[in-house]
């Protein structure tokens, strides 16, 4: 299997990219087919998203737009609220989930927060 939209080789060292979930765990049951990583350079974070160029352009455009018009950004609270609504949670349940998440981050050390953020950081490989 190879990525469909991006360069199948690592831009850093040229090795063939592999699915990042399988690098994390060769027996992984859930494998995302759009997340690729270099078997040599991968250090637990930094994956290449196998997305079509239009999708990357659109994201890049939105990011530029957001920089110029910060007032257009949707607060994370609102996004999260809508996500939970889509999952079928009631307003009370949403309130509860948000409280739980806040408690959790309150108890996290700076290091744990940095660790968490490094895991959610994605690299976009633009050809």
Residues at the interface with Zn ion (CB under 5 A):
10, 12-13, 15, 38, 40-41
By C-beta, is 7 or 34 nearer to Zn ion? 7
Smallest gap from Cβ 78 to Zn ion, in A, equals 38
By C-beta, is 12 or 58 nearer to Zn ion? 12
By C-beta, is 10 or 49 nearer to Zn ion? 10
Smallest gap from Cβ 82 to Zn ion, in A, equals 37
DSSP 64-113: HHHHH-GGGSPPHHHHHHHHHHHTT--HHHHHHHHHHHHHHHHT--HHHH
What is the 3-class SS of 45-75, one letter each residue?
CCCEECCCHHHHHHHHHHHHHHHHCHHHCCC
Q: Are the C-beta atoms of 52 and 22 separated by less than 8 Å? A: no
Smallest gap from Cβ 59 to Zn ion, in A, equals 23
Helix or strand holding residue 120 (H, E)? helix 110-120
By C-beta, is 14 or 61 nearer to Zn ion? 14
Smallest gap from Cβ 23 to Zn ion, in A, equals 12
């Amino acid at each position: 299997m190879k990525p469909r939209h991006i360069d199948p080789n690592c831009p850093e060292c040229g090795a063939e990219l592999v699915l990042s979930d399988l690098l994390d765990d060769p027996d992984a049951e859930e494998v995302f087919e759009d997340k690729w990583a270099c078997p040599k350079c991968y250090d637990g974070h930094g994956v290449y998203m196998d997305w079509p160029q239009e999708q990357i352009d659109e994201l890049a455009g939105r990011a530029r737009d957001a920089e110029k018009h910060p007032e257009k950004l949707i607060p994370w609270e609102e996004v999260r609220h809508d996500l939970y609504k889509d999952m079928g949670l009631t307003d009370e349940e949403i309130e509860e989930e948000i409280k739980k998440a806040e408690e959790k981050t309150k108890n996290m050390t700076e290091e744990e927060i940095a660790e968490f953020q490094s895991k959610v950081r994605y690299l976009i490989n633009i050809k």
